[in-house]
Amino acid sequence: MKKKMNLNIIDKKQIPQSESERQYYFMDIAKEYVSQLAAQKGSALTFHVTTFGCQMNARDSEKLVGILERIGYVETETEEADFVIYNTCTVRENANNKVYGRLGALCNYKKKNQYMLIGLCGCMMQEPAVVEKLKESYRFVDLIFGTHNIYKFAELIVTALESDSMTIDIWKDTEQIVEDLPVERKYAFKSGVNIMFGCNNFCSYCIVPYVRGRERSREPKEIIREIENLVADGVVEVMLLGQNVNSYGKNLEEPMTFAELLAEIEKIEGLERIRFMTSHPKDLSDELIEVMKHSRKICRHLHLPLQSGSSRILAAMNRRYDKEHYLALVEKLRASVPDIALTTDIIVGFPGETEEDFEETLDVVRKVRYDSAFTFIYSKRTGTPAASREDQVPEEIIKERFDRLLAEVQQIAAEKAGKLTGQVQPVLIEEINAQDDGLVTGRLSNNSVVHLPGTAELIGKIVDVRLKECRGFYYLGELEK
């Protein structure tokens, strides 16, 4: 679009003081603009949000969608839309490369569509070098914002619609948590819920603390209120989100532990399942294990990132636990919650990692026997302490270790899959099976996937399913009458 919109309808005196009311004010303005543009175009304006990265970003994208729908954009499946937004991730180099790769295609769509806007947000935008590169070589992008001001999306859309050039708004950090903005959930029956933002841990390889800012916990009453509203709206399962949920509440005016928060959430009537992510081993308390042991709602699954099995490497990673502590934690967890499924993240090839260090990682993998594990090749992130180390491990060595680790992890996961065969277990039915529409797909409390004959009416319900057989990593089952 050459000259965009300016109806001069913003009345500075009318802009409300409170941040959330202010954003609703801008949603009304944006709505007016979108309706005018749609009238010009002769059809509704469409949008597509593409999400990269973790569950935090997925939840943020639901907030973007909530605002876009409220101002009159209609969601479409393809990126040939009137507004395309990439919510980016920068945790590993290949996450960045994907975004640059796809921007070329977007530029071609834009040449054919005068109404098209391109927006970029999320973690990658918090890196100054990225924004410089976009300013230089990707001038066709209309709107760039970061992780701290995502709540200002409505206001930023108005600015972008009124401007001829790139709108850029990146903040270094924020203390703000803005509540009560619109959200459009991807699933009717389950939802992510942010309990905290940011991270204070500064693991030496990780860029997240630099792009997500300092740790801030939401007030427990806000979290409870949000979950109560979700439940009233049909949600039965929540996933509590934070980079380190085990340190929840430390900086609140009235401090509260994560275990205490869980105990409060457990009391919410109508809520059936509670999941959370991610647990840092250094902060996993006995109190939490005790709460998990007695809970009827907390799912029998814990994601407990190991990163490395070598105490020497863990120290260099600034993880603040060692191999023995991690193994002792796993033992305690299994003693209290015997049927718990454990999953993990592991990085191969951290600077200075020797064959002996790597053997330690394999040793932990064999001892813990994870139900599944995400394995990553170390990626150098500029600005992190590990990136400036001179003892980077050669690529061929990393690749060879990575393959060995993957083989081990998959072998164990295959042996562990199917351990519940023959049992009847509650399953939350999530969707019609993508391959066979006579089947539905759901998840057990331990996060295993089950396919069974059924119809769309079952979606969102928790039903008893007999697990008849295990094929690879999933079960085939049938409804228990």
- In the complex, the residues that contact ligand SF4 under the rule CB under 6 A are 199, 201-203, 206, 208-209, 243-244, 280
Q: Quick one: tokens of 480?
A: 């228990």
Nearest C-alpha neighbor of 293 from the set 302, 282, 303: 302
Question: By rule CB under 6 A, what string of x and - marks binding of each residue 41-70 to ligand F3S?
Answer: ------------xx-xx-------------
Q: Vertex 29, ends 27 and 30: CA angle to 5°? A: 65
81 binds, among ligand F3S, ligand SF4, ligand SAH, none (CB under 5 to 8 A by kind): none
x-or-dash string of contact with ligand F3S, 199-238, rule CB under 6 A: ---------x--xx--------------------------
Rounded to an integer, what is the distance from CA 46 to the centroid of its chain?
24
Q: For tokens 């295993």, what's the residue? A: 448
Q: How many residues does the chain have?
A: 481
Q: Give the distance, in angstroms, between the CA of residue 388 and the centroid of all CA atoms in the same chain.
A: 28
Is 216 a residue that touches ligand SAH (CB under 6 A)? no
Interacting partner of 53 out of ligand SF4, ligand F3S, ligand SAH, none (Cβ under 5 to 8 A depending on kind): ligand F3S
Q: Which is nearer to ligand SF4, 124 or 206 (CB)?
A: 206
Query: Least CB distance from residue 53 to ligand SF4, whole Å?
Result: 12
SS (H, E, C) 173-242: CCCCCCCCCCCCCCCCCEEEEECEECCCCCCCCCCHHHHHCCCEECCHHHHHHHHHHHHHCCCCEEEEEC
Stretch that binds ligand SAH, among 7-15, 204-212, 437-445, 467-475 (CB under 6 A): 204-212
Between residues 289 and 306, which has the closer beta carbon with respect to ligand F3S?
A: 306
State yes or no: residue 92 binds ligand SAH (CB under 6 A): yes
Q: Shortest approach of ligand F3S to residue 463 CB, angstroms?
A: 33
- In this structure, are residues 420 and 443 in contact, taking their beta carbons and an 8 Å threshold? no
Pull the structure tokens for residue 179: 């509540």
CA gyration radius for the chain? 24
Q: How many Å separate Cα 198 from the centre of its chain? A: 12
- For the chain, the maximum distance between any two Cα atoms, rounded to a whole number of angstroms, is 67
* Contacts with ligand F3S, 106-135, as mask; x by CB under 6 A: -----------------x------------
H/E element holding 324? helix 323-336
* Among residues 280, 323, 443, 451, the one that binds ligand SAH under rule CB under 6 A: 280
Q: Interface with ligand F3S includes 91 (CB under 6 A)?
A: yes
Residue 202 binds which entry of ligand SF4, ligand SAH, ligand F3S, none, CB below 5-8 Å type-dependent: ligand SF4
Query: 46 — phi, psi (to 5°)?
Result: -110, 160
Complete DSSP assignment for 109-157: HHHH-TT-EEEEEEGGGGSHHHHHHHHHH-TT--EEE-STTGGGHHHHH
Separation CA 45–CA 97 (nearest Å):
29
46 binds, among ligand SAH, ligand SF4, ligand F3S, none (CB under 5 to 8 A by kind): none
The site that binds ligand F3S (CB under 6 A) totals a number of residues, namely: 11
Shortest separation between residue 359's beta carbon and ligand SAH, angstroms: 19
CB 463 within 8 A of CB 470: no
Q: Sign of torsion, CA 380 382 384 389?
A: positive
Q: Per rule CB under 6 A, is residue 378 in the interface with ligand SAH?
A: yes
Q: Which stretch binds ligand SAH (CB under 6 A): 1-9, 120-128, 223-231, 376-384?
A: 376-384
Tell me whether residue 167 or residue 344 sits nearer to ligand SF4 (CB atom).
344
Residue 379 interacting partner from ligand SF4, ligand F3S, ligand SAH, none (CB closer than 5 to 8 Å by kind) = ligand SAH
Binding footprint of ligand F3S on the chain (CB under 6 A): 53-54, 56-57, 89-91, 123, 208, 211-212
Binding footprint of ligand SAH on the chain (CB under 6 A): 91-92, 205-206, 208, 243-244, 278, 280, 305, 307, 345, 347, 376, 378-379, 381
